[in-house]
């Protein structure tokens, strides 16, 4: 499931009893433009997109030996390059040959590979010969069952360690019945493990997963949608109430600094029809992790954790800067907040045509749309109103774009204002710069911006609170197992006869 198989959901599945977990499908070129970094603050290995600073893939010691990287690819060279890059951090590489979506097929990936057998085999053979970890693939059924069996045998001949079979064809959708008999015939024809997939409609608990695998004649099964709805279905003692599962998922999301948009999406998938309830509508209006956490009474935990990470120097979204700013041959020394000094220099160079350099006032403020339910209260509107009432010239906005990020500078009343937070679109960048200006004009309060998540508290003010006892003591749990006990591990991996339940949260 795209956007679902990120680190918090994978860890949640492992906690509840899954033996192996899959990442979401990650396209090969997206990983190839990423940089591998050790995140000492979170205790993770991060693959960061160098164009916008977003996390492409994040993993940690808790899932070591249990996480399978699922890639979308149509190229032997790119697939091998990705596999060599990540093989020390994952348990196996899985090539997605089952995605029926247009974006995947048009790129020659997913189901398209089933109709281009030479290319599919070349990719698998290249991977098997290039890496030391197992290589697997996942397919769908062809309209003709005999052709499906022959296809699976051809793919088996490449030396892969296992094959996942989704019991539907390219044109069939989740509402269509899964063909368990077809999966069983493929499994009977192969000598490598076959992983049954597609049974979510009949799965609500662990027993159902095992029964599905038995009916399909396989040694294991992977579960996507049913696990997305309630990941605790893997528990031997039965599933937990959804609210409890959501709270645990959100805690893991905060613990591992998961993006708010991804966290929100996954919780929405859990709520399903409950999205129309008051809680669901509150979630829909949320943009920050704090706003999401407040709904489930985890707001204080979120604020304390984020502040702790910030002071530990985490390189999160707030410290993101475009990579092209590094080509100016300027020395780049990080300040206390993790920002690079050359950002200010770059902005000032963009204004060399000014006869007199005006002071540049910066704050690390992001624009959060949900903080402004009315257009009349938007920062740019407030600043326009302020200028009109005080008979001042209107603010002049200048937007700088680097890679896929934007930053705005305002000239107003003899000063220049800018946020050091790089936004993902031009409009948000202008609104963030307007917030900086309004803050220094006294129209916006710093305490209010901190309360609604637009700013983080200053280190000095937090230290004073800690000294006075206003801030609670804080401990970040190092691993989920510290809270929930030891995790079960299937040490047999992909060997024949392994009795495992595989949670494949994938396309």
Does residue 60 carry a catalytic annotation?
A: no
> Which tokens belong to 259?
């993006």
Mutual angle of helices 426-441 and 379-389, in 10-degree steps: 50
* DSSP assignment string, 198-267: --GGG-SSHHHHHHHHHHTT-SEEE-SHHHHH-GGGG-TT-PPPHHHHHHHHHHHHHHTT--HHHHHHHH
- Measured distance CA(152)–CA(163) in Å, rounded: 8
Closest CA to 176 of 198, 209, 149: 198
CB atoms within 10 A of CB 1: 18
Contact between 47 and 59 (Cβ < 8 Å): no
Tokens representing 141 are 């059924």
Query: Any idea what DSSP says for residue 334?
Result: B
The answer to whether residues 227 and 233 touch, using CB atoms and an 8 Å cutoff, is yes
- Which of these is catalytic: 60, 99, 342, 346? 99
Whole-angstrom distance, CA of residue 107 vs CA of residue 295: 40
Burial of 411 by CB count in 10 Å (0-12 exposed, 13-18 middle, 19+ buried)? middle
238: burial class by Cβ within 10 Å (0-12, 13-18, 19+)? exposed
The residues assigned a catalytic role are 99
């Amino acid at each position: 499931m795209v956007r679902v198989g990120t680190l918090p959901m994978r860890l949640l599945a492992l906690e509840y009893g899954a033996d192996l977990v899959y990442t979401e499908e990650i396209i090969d070129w997206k990983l190839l433009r990423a940089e591998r970094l050790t995140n000492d603050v979170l205790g993770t290995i991060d693959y960061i997109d160098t164009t916008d600073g977003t996390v492409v893939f994040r993993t940690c010691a808790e899932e070591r030996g249990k996480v399978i990287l699922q890639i979308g690819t149509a190229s032997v060279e790119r697939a091998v390059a990705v596999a060599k890059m990540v093989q020390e951090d994952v348990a196996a590489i899985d090539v997605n040959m089952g995605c029926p979506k247009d974006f995947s097929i048009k790129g020659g990936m997913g189901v398209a590979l089933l109709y281009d057998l030479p290319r599919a085999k070349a990719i698998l053979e290249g991977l098997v010969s290039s890496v030391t970890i197992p290589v697997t693939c996942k397919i769908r059924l062809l309209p003709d069952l005999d052709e499906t069996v022959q296809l699976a045998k051809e793919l088996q001949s490449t030396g892969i360690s296992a094959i996942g079979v989704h019991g539907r064809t390219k044109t069939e959708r989740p509402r269509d019945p899964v063909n368990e008999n077809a999966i069983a015939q493929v499994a009977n024809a192969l000598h490598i493990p076959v992983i049954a997939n597609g049974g979510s409609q009949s799965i609500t608990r662990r027993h159902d997963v095992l029964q599905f695998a038995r009916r399909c004649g396989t040694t294991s099964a992977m579960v996507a949608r049913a696990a997305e709805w309630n990941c605790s279905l893997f528990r031997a003692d039965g599933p937990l109430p959804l609210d409890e599962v959501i709270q645990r998922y959100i805690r893991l999301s905060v613990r591992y600094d998961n993006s708010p948009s991804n966290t929100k999406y996954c919780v929405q998938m859990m709520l399903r029809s409950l999205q129309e309830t008051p809680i669901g509508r509150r979630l829909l209006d949320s943009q920050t992790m704090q706003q999401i956490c407040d709904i489930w009474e985890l707001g204080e935990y979120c604020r304390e954790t984020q502040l702790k990470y910030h002071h530990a120097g985490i390189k999160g979204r707030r410290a993101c800067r475009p990579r092209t700013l590094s080509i100016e041959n300027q020395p780049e020394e990080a300040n206390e907040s993790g920002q690079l000094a050359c950002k200010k220099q770059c902005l000032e160079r963009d204004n060399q045509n000014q006869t007199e350099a005006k002071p540049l006032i910066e704050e690390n403020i992001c624009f959060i749309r949900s903080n402004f339910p009315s257009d009349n209260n938007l920062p740019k509107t407030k600043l326009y109103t302020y200028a009109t009432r005080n008979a001042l010239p209107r603010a002049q906005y200048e937007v700088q774009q680097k890679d896929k990020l934007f930053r705005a500078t305002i000239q107003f009343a003899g000063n220049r204002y800018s946020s050091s937070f790089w936004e993902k679109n031009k409009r948000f960048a202008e609104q963030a710069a307007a917030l900086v200006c309004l803050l220094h004009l006294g129209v916006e309060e710093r305490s209010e911006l901190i309360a609604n998540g637009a700013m983080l508290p200053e280190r000095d003010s937090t230290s004073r609170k800690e000294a006075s006892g206003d801030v609670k003591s804080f401990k970040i749990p190092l691993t989920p197992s510290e809270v929930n006990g030891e995790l079960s591990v299937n040490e047999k991996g992909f060997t024949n006869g392994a009795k495992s339940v595989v949670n494949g949260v994938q396309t």
